[in-house]
Structure 1
Amino acid sequence: MTPLENEITALKKELISMWILVQSQLNKAKDAMLQFDKDLAREVLVKEKRVNSFELKIDRDCENIFALHCPVAIDLRFLLAALKINTNLERIGDIAASIAKYVVDSSVNFDLAAMESTSMIRMYEEAVNILIDTRTAFEKEDTVLARSIFKRDDVLDAINDNAAATVAEVIKGNIESMPEALYILSIIRKLERVGDQSKNIAEEIIFYVEAKILKHYQSSHSGTGDDEII
C-alpha cells in the first residue's frame, strides 16, 4: 500500500471508532431515560468530551492528508465526505448528551405509557438502527443501503410531525405530567435531527463511492419529485 492508502485506511478506522462511540452514547442515553438512571446519564455527559476529541483529531488528520498528498479522484471524495461525516457524527453525539441532560435535570421518571403513546420509544429505536446501518453502508461502501436511509427517515419525520398532538393528549390526560411530556416532545424533536444527520451521512457515502451529489433530497411523502443528482 502507498503512504496515502495507509493514511486513508487509518482515517476510515478512526471514523468507524467514532461512529461506534456515538452509537454507544445514543444507546446509553436511551437506557438512562428508560431506567431513569441519572448515573448512566452523567456517564454520557462525561464521554461527550471523547466525541469532541475524535472530531478534532479526524479534522486534523484530514487536513494533514490534504497538505501532504494532494489526493485526487475517489481519495479526494473520501476525504471531503469524511470531513462532513465527522461533523454529522459529532452533532449526533451532542444530541445524545442533550437527552442525557434531560434525565439528569428531570425530577420525575419518564412515564412508560406516555413514551409509548407518543411513539417516542419506537422512534428512538429506529433512529439508532438508522445510525447503525449508515455505518454498515460506510464500511461496505454499500450505496443501496445508504439510499434506503432516505425512506426510513420518513418514519422519524412522521412521528415528529404528529408529536405536538400526541404530547397534548398526554397532558390532557394528566395535567401534572406536563413537565415530563415537554421533555418527551423535546426528545422527539432531537431524534428527528438524528435522522437528518444520518441522511446527510448517507448522501456523503453516495458522493464518495459513486461521485454523485444528491442535493435537497425530496422525501417520498412530499410528492415533489425524485432526488436531484449531479
Structure 2
Amino acid sequence: MPDKHLSSQFDAALNALSTNLLEMGGLVERQIDHCLTLLNDYDPSLVLEIRSGERQLNALEIEIDEEIHRVIARRQPAARDLRLLMAMSKCVTNLERMGDEARKISKRMRRIYDTGTTPAIETIELRQCGEMASSILRRALDAFARMDAVAAAHIVRDDKAIDDVFRAYVRSLVSQMTQTPAIVSVALEYLFIAKALERIGDHAKNIAEFVVFVVKGRDVRHIPLVELEREALLN
C-alpha cells in the first residue's frame, strides 16, 4: 500500500486508486477462471459474461487512468510517489490487455463448440498453463498490494515455467496435427488459446516488474533475471 503523507487527501487518493486497481485485477481473475471453465465444459453464458467483463475492464481502465492524471496534475508527485502512479497506469493497461486475451479465448472456444465436433485433442498442458497464469496474476496483485519486491522477483522467475509449458504444448499440437490432419483447424484454435494464456502470464509478470520499479526505483524490464532478483534483494 502507499506510504503515509502529510496530506490526508493525497493518501486517500492513492488508497482509492490502489483499491480500484485491485478491483480490476479481481475482475481479470474471474475472467481467467471463466476461461478455464470453458476449457472443461463449454457454457454460452460464460462467453457472454466474459464479453461483459471486458467492457467493465475497458471502463475501469479509462476511469483509473483519468484519476491518475488528475492526481499528478494536482499533487505534482516526485520520487516513489511518481513511480507508484506511473506503475499504476501501466498495471491498468496490462490488466485491460489480459481482459482482451480472455475475450479471445472465449471466442476461440465458441468456434470450437460451433463446429459440432468433439476433437480428440489433449488439453492437460493447456489447463496447466491457464492455472499457472491465474496463480501468477493473483500473486502479482498481492505483491502490488504489499509492495513486496522480493515476492515480485519470484513471480518473474515463475513466468518462465509458463513459457516452458506453452512450448511443450505447441510441440504436442504439432505432433497431433501431423498424425491426424483432420484436426488441424480445431488444433489451430487451441494453439491461439494457448498463446493467449501465455500472454496473460506475461502481463502478470509485467505487474510484478512494476512492483520492483516502485520499491527499488529501477526499471527492471528487459534485464537478466539474475540481475532483477539481485536488485529486489538489495536493502
Q: TM-score, normalised by structure 1?
A: 0.89
Question: 1:114 corresponds to which residue?
Answer: 122
Matched positions, count: 223
Taking only the aligned residue pairs, the percentage that are identical comes to: 28
Q: How does 1:156-175 map to 2 (within 5 A)?
A: 156-175=162-181
Q: TM-score, normalised by structure 2?
A: 0.88
Q: How does 1:33-182 map to 2 (within 5 A)?
A: 33-106=39-112, 107-108=115-116, 114-116=122-124, 119-182=125-188
Q: CA RMSD in A?
A: 2.0
Gaps of 5+ in 2: 1-6
Deviations 1:57-103 (A, max 9, x none): 01100000011111122211110100100101000110011101112
Task: Determine the C-alpha separation between the residues in 2 that align with 1:112 and 1:61.
Answer: 49
Within the candidate set 9, 12, 16, 2:15 is matched to 9
Deviation at 1:186, TM superposition (A): 0.9
| More moved, 201-210 vs 164-173 | 164-173
Deviations 1:26-51 (A, max 9, x none): 11122122201122112211221000
| More moved, 160-169 vs 202-211 | 160-169
Contact 1:23 1:132 in 2 (8 A): yes
Deviation at 1:160, TM superposition (A): 2.5
Question: 1:21 corresponds to which residue?
Answer: 27
| More moved, 192-201 vs 131-140 | 192-201
The structure-2 alpha-carbon separation of the partners of 1:110 and 1:100, relative to structure 1 and needing over 3 Å to count, comes to: farther
Question: 2:4 corresponds to which residue?
Answer: none
Task: Determine the C-alpha separation between the residues in 2 that align with 1:80 and 1:191.
Answer: 26
Within the candidate set 197, 204, 211, 1:198 is matched to 204
Structure 1 counterpart SS, 2:122 = helix
Deviation at 1:108, TM superposition (A): 4.1
| More moved, 103-112 vs 18-27 | 103-112
**Larger relative contact order (C-alpha < 8 A, sep ≥ 6)?**
2
Task: Determine the C-alpha separation between the residues in 1 that align with 2:127 and 2:117.
Answer: 15
Deviation at 1:212, TM superposition (A): 2.3
Contact 2:31 2:50 in 1 (8 A): yes
Structure 1 counterpart SS, 2:100 = helix
Deviations 1:88-132 (A, max 9, x none): 10001100111011122222466575112xx11111110100000
